[in-house]
Structure 1
Amino acid sequence: MDVAHAKPSLDLNAVQRSNDDPSTSATLSITSQKLEAGDEAVSTAKEGEAEVEDTEYITGLKLWLVVGSLSMICFLLFLDLSIISTAIPRITSEFHSLPDVGWYSGVYQLANAALQPLTGKLYSRLNLKWNFLFFFLIFELGSLICGLAISSSMFIGGRTIAGLGGSGLMNGAMTMIAASVPLEKRPVYTGTLLGIGQMGIICGPLVGGALTEYVTWRWCFYINLPIGGLLALLLLRIHIPDLSMKPPVTLSLVAKMLPELDLIGFALFAHAAVMFLLALQLGGGSARPWNSSVVIGLFCGAAATAIVFVLWEKRMGDRAMIPGSMLRNPIMACSVGMGSFLMSTNISGATYLPIYFQGVKGVGPTMSGVYTLPGILSQLLLIVVSGALVPKLGYYLPLAVFSGGLTSIGNGLMSTLTPNTSTGKWVGYQILMGAGRGTGMQIPIIATQNALPPSQLPASMAFIIFAQNLGSAIAVVVSTTLFAQTVLSDLPRLAPSVPPQAALAAGSSAEGVRALLPPGSPELEGLLSTGGEFWVCGGWKDVRGKKQRDGEKGSV
């Protein structure tokens, strides 16, 4: 389909300009959230009886303080998304919690996905600044709980809260930029916001590795508190206009708004997703066998709740959390699938590659962050290149096919990693995998823009974000399940002196893995090769606690 024939709209033009300019290129999720929050806020403003357009703008120093504060908050959001990757090995070592490692990233994505369809509706009906600060407070609270965590369960709870708060930050920041400046100036300030925000993805593994190695992994989350508090104070002191004039919050307004939020659909989806992921975690983590009544009951409960969810969404029609009418469009369905799978490979790689570098290669957290840069940089570069190529070629399908093929090849090569894989190979494999993902990141949104009328774009963008987060949450948990099962089957053959349950009670730090065997043991290479093809999607747990209980001393 020729992109030149796309129907023009306010946000579509902004997205196209951002694709042509490297400084304003962004990932699919960021652009999608901008479309959802900005367009939906405008459209719903037209429907409200008391809502009229607000043409008040801010200028000068106040404007740059707002843009700078929002940009740094977006930086913290993306830093939080990637900083955990190099901290996970130490976290699992401290909490002895390998079966839970899938939840550390997965529950954040799941919480973000569950609340995502509601955030745009909240921004369209409530005050922008106070709504944004409320989401930011929830995000900061989640960071605080993660930093103070004394158990794996408490840490997972903190990640859940942070995910709920993070679901409203990017689209809120985009909407506030749109409300603060005239139409012709929005691309410049939006590009500034996105450019600074994306730096968090690059800095995350490096900052996380340095803090974990030289201070404590807890500062990967504490770092959000002082910086976030200062930014919130700056926003509090500046008046930020809304896209439309909104009535004050009253009980009658809340009563009118609640039916439009599809809270029943949200509750049904959350229960189905949690039961499904919990069944995978319990069965795959060897806590219970697959034929356990608890695991089977969770699978059955998830299936039954999912059926009820589908029936309820069908009844809600266009007001549903996931409008079914969009999925009947084949291009939309393919776009959702492509975006979901690309994000799944992205999150899985970011979560488990540092585990390979620390647990198998034996490097520290800082160097494991450095070692992940080839994939990150190639992905960001190809996002810019593909965004510039589509309008020049006039076709997006060749890039979609190229992205899928290259991503598959890159992931296939990554599955061949062993303890003896050379530097040139794992660098090259990451470049291929990152280039494949980067080429296809913006393709789903471009295809959707051309397949659907402008009136359906906000809902379609929200659904793509929803599918991305849900897919990545499932992928991380499934990856951990595959790895745990492989360890149980391979360890008796490759390292017979290491009990499988002891390995599953270990951590993924270099010292934790090597403490499983005495120094100079000939079984070390076999131990490091256990579950070889799943090293990019699984991990180890620390067994130093078990060694000490047994009266044994492990050393690196």
Structure 2
Amino acid sequence: MGTPNTPPTTASNSIDQASPTKSAATLSIRHVSGESTPPPTGPSRLHTNDQTSQNAAITTPHDTQWLTGTPLAIISSLIATAVFLMMLDASIISTAIPRITDTFHSLPDIGWYASIYQLSSAVLQPLSGRIYQRFPNKPSFLTFLFLFELGSLICGAASSSAMLIAGRAVAGMGSAGLVTGGLTIIAASAPLHKRAALVGVIMGVGQMGLAIGPLLGGVLTSYVSWRWCFYVNLPVGGLLVLGLGLASVPEQCPKPSARRVWRSLQSELDLPGLALLAPAAVQLLLALEWGGSRYSWGSVTVVGLFCGSAVAAWFWFLWNWFRGDAALMPVSLMRVRAVWTGAITHCLIMTGVFCASFFLPIYFQAVKGVTPMMSGVCVLASVLSQLVALPLAGRMVELTGYVIPFALFSAIAGAVSNGLYSTLSPATSTAQWIGYQVLNGFGRGVGMPMAVLAVQAALPPHDLAMGNAIIMFVQTLGTAITLAASDAIFEGSLEAELPLRAPRVNAAAVLAAGATHFREIVAESDLPGVVAAYAASVDRVFYLAAGASVVAAFSCLGLEWVDMREKERLSAGDDVPLEEYEG
């Protein structure tokens, strides 16, 4: 796979404690070529129960070998492909669900096909960070990839609705560690100032999978079989396993022996914490999934789920606080400003991404009257502009060294473009909706990598996996909440608008027919009113997305002004104050 090169001095840090002119209060990091000692951490920054390992990680130089050239390109391509498959699997099922329900006569199970994937993925996100923190990157990533592929195989071969749901759960468990693991491996493969472009490309390729999933699902379902929506992951996954098996996957920091971790697995991974967090997340997501659809928001079931989630979350919070830095989500990490503001910012930016991905196709199908397949073509303007912006944003970070200006630009562009989306109507011209998408896609492409880069700049190597996992957990849970809110806004608005704009139609029948079939049951004279009701309801969803972008404009200011440029970290003799490093 090629011989990696010795890292530049950007990542080569050693603790300068020898100078008699420096007191403990002014402890600083000096950058010395050829060495890479983890930054000053102490017990509050290294989260392990093995004090010997802590001391070794603090005092023993670790010779990191950055990947360059072909090896780096290969690792990045493999990770990007894995993330693409994961995002594709999350959205491809949307156009296959009608045929699946025909096969299994399982209309009541529709909600489970999508939600169980999100549930299992969200619950295991924090655990995936602990796993990458304790175990080697390659076997950990391959294990999660194997689970994802196994879930896809179960879904493709499903002989019942229950078997399909179980397969989706297994695939979701595997997906929990793919993004976290991919970001962790990239952090171990390239110095900080070169990660921006790599992270941007990986996220962009992943979002492309989310965007083309419904289009590919429609093609496979129409011309082959819905089962190939899942089987398509198998040959690509097999090539990924082969490629990763042959590749040299670096580590972000020294790790304890697997035998030592297995001996105290319950404590090392904080399995009791997972047992408390999982019910809280599952009950919350179920309440959001079922509220307003299967049950009313005021029903005993939904209220009970909300209450149960709150109680479980409270007990988890107490346990997490008691465990401190040995907890599932270490307390000291949650106190780092770049971590919690980064998680919030990334979640808010991704809220706009998911709103556009789910509701723009509804606009094109219901208002413009295109087919589901063509609606996938109509959103390509957003996808392509995002793909252009992601590597460009990474290059700009390399040149300027800072993430806050680009995160702020992304938030402002998101607020403006989502505001423009909220004006979509039956009369909106092609040039207008393409322009709106270009602005939105370019803005979110610029902003998506920024929170991840800020967290990686703020944390020592030992904590990178956990920092990545926290971002992914908050994003998964947060976007699930906002999508449920978006769905409630859309359905509530449609129920209110139909009697006003098309009083002669049967509103319940229109709602049951869905965005692609209501034209078959609505009279020609009533069609403009129904179309206008759909347009107004889609518009109101983007009020939420625009509001999220406005909040992101404020939260991104907490990402810290850390200069990532190589030349700043190569300045011979320059000492970076510990307070500046930790923020």
The TM-score with structure 2 as length reference comes to 0.70
1:300-315 correspondence to structure 2 within 5 Å: 300-315=307-322
SS at match of 2:513: coil
Choose from 514, 525, 530 the match for 1:527. 530
The SS at the match of 2:291 is: helix
Question: What does residue 421 of structure 1 align with?
Answer: 428
Deviates more, 1:335-344 or 1:319-328: 319-328
- Asked if the contact 1:403/1:440 (under 8 Å) is kept, the reply is yes
Shift of 1:88: 1.8
Q: 1:167 aligns with which of 161, 166, 176?
A: 176
Question: d(CA) in 1 for partners of 2:266 and 2:344?
Answer: 30
Q: Deviations over 1:157-195 (max 9, x none)?
A: 54332221022234545666888x8x79x979x978985
2:141 and 2:177 in contact (8 A); partners too: yes
Contact preservation (8 Å) 2:505, 2:526 = no
Q: Which among 328, 340, 349 is matched to residue 333 of structure 1?
A: 340
> SS of the counterpart of 1:417?
coil
Cα displacement string for residues 63-95 of structure 1 (whole angstroms, at most 9, x for unaligned residues): 97x975883464143144146546524525764
Gapped runs of 5+ residues in structure 1? Answer: 1-6, 12-38, 539-556
- Residue 121 of structure 1 pairs with residue 130 of structure 2: yes
Q: Is the 8 A contact 1:272 1:303 kept in 2?
A: yes
Aligned residue type for 1:367: M
CA 431–446 in structure 1, closer or farther in 2 if over 3 Å, else same = same
Identify which of 386, 408, 412 aligns with 2:415. 408
Matches within 5 A, 1:259-298: 259-285=267-293, 287-298=294-305
Q: Which has the higher contact order (CA 8 A, sep 6+)?
A: 1
**Of 61, 65, 81, which residue of structure 1 is paired with 2:87?**
81
Mean Cα deviation higher: 495-504 or 95-104: 95-104
Distance change (3 Å), C-alpha of 1:354 and 1:400: same
Question: What's the CA shift string for 1:278-302, capped at 9, x where partnerless?
Answer: 22232221x3222221121111111
Question: Quick check: 1:85–1:354 contact (8 Å CA) kept in 2?
Answer: no
In structure 1, what is the equivalent of residue 97 of structure 2? 91
RMSD value, Cα: 4.5
Describe the superposition over 1:216-273 as per-residue Cα deviations: whole angstroms up to 9, x where unpaired: 44423220113323443565678978788988866x7524122121222223222112
Give the CA deviation at 1:523: 1.7
1:189-208 deviation digits (Å, cap 9, x = unpaired): x9789857844543651544
**Given that residues 101 and 480 in structure 1 are in contact (C-alpha distance below 8 angstroms), is that contact kept between their aligned partners in structure 2?**
no
Contact 1:212 1:365 in 2 (8 A): no
Give secondary structure in 1 for the equivalent of 2:264.
helix
Contact 1:127 1:242 in 2 (8 A): yes
Contact 2:125–2:469 (CA<8 Å) still a contact in 1? yes
Pair 1:513-2:522 in alignment: no
Question: Which one-letter code corresponds to 1:268 in the other structure?
Answer: L
Matched pairs, number: 494
Structure-2 separation of matches of 1:83 and 1:53: 42
Q: How far, CA to CA, are the matches of 2:163 and 2:271 in structure 1?
A: 26
Q: Matches of 2:122 and 2:513 in 1, distance apart?
A: 31
> 2:49 & 2:438 partners in 1: Cα distance?
41
CA distance in 1: counterparts of 2:409 and 2:64, whole angstroms: 45
Corresponding position of 1:229: 238
- Whether 2:234 is the aligned partner of 1:215: answer no
What CA deviation, in whole Å up to 9, does each residue of 1:513-536 have, x standing for no partner?
A: 32333xx53222222333534437
> What SS does the aligned partner of 1:284 have?
coil
Q: Please, which of 134, 140, 143 is the counterpart of residue 134 of structure 1? A: 143
SS at match of 1:228: helix
What is the distance in 2 between the residues matched to 1:446 and 1:241?
Answer: 19
CA distance in 1, matches of 2:53, 2:149: 34
Q: 1:525 corresponds to which letter in structure 2?
A: P
CA contact (8 A) 1:331 1:448 kept: yes
Counterpart of 1:112 (choices 114, 121, 126) is 121
Partners of 1:536 and 1:300 in 2: how far apart?
32
Q: CA offset at residue 105 of structure 1?
A: 5.5
Give the deviation of 1:341 after TM superposition.
0.7
Q: Which one of 1, 9, 12 corresponds to residue 11 of structure 2?
A: 9
Contact 1:107–1:473 at 8 Å: present in 2 too? no
Deviations 1:101-156 (A, max 9, x none): 77766654443332222224324544554433322221012223444567877655
Tell me the amino acid that sits aligned with residue 122 of structure 2. Answer: A
**Correspondence 1:334-349 to 2 at 5 A:** 334-349=341-356
Could you tell me how far apart the structure 1 residues matched to 2:120 and 2:341 are? Answer: 24
| Residues 296-340 of structure 1: CA deviation (Å, up to 9, x unaligned) | 111111111111121111111112222333444444432221111
Query: CA distance change for structure 1 residues 467 and 196 in 2, over 3 Å: closer, same or farther?
Result: closer
Separation in structure 2 between the aligned mates of residue 107 and residue 40 of structure 1, nearest angstrom: 34
Q: Distance in 2 between matches of 1:524 and 1:216?
A: 33
- Separation in 2 of the partners of 1:152 and 1:418? 38
Closer/same/farther in 2, CA of residues 436 and 46 from structure 1, 3 Å limit: farther
461 and 177 in structure 1: CA distance in 2 versus 1, 3 angstrom threshold: closer
- Against the structure 1 CA distance between its residues 392 and 329, is the aligned structure 2 distance closer, same or farther, given a 3 Å change threshold? same
Structure 1 residues 399 and 196: alpha-carbon distance in aligned structure 2, compared to 1, 3 A threshold: closer
Distance verdict in 2 for CA 1:410–1:500, change over 3 Å:
same
Normalising by structure 1, we get a TM-score of: 0.73
Q: 1:537 to 1:91 in 2, by over 3 A?
A: farther
Question: Using a 3 Å threshold, how does the CA distance of structure 1 residues 341 and 46 change in structure 2: closer, same or farther?
Answer: farther
List runs of 5+ in structure 2 lacking aligned partners: 1-8, 14-44, 542-583
SS in 2 for 1:505: helix
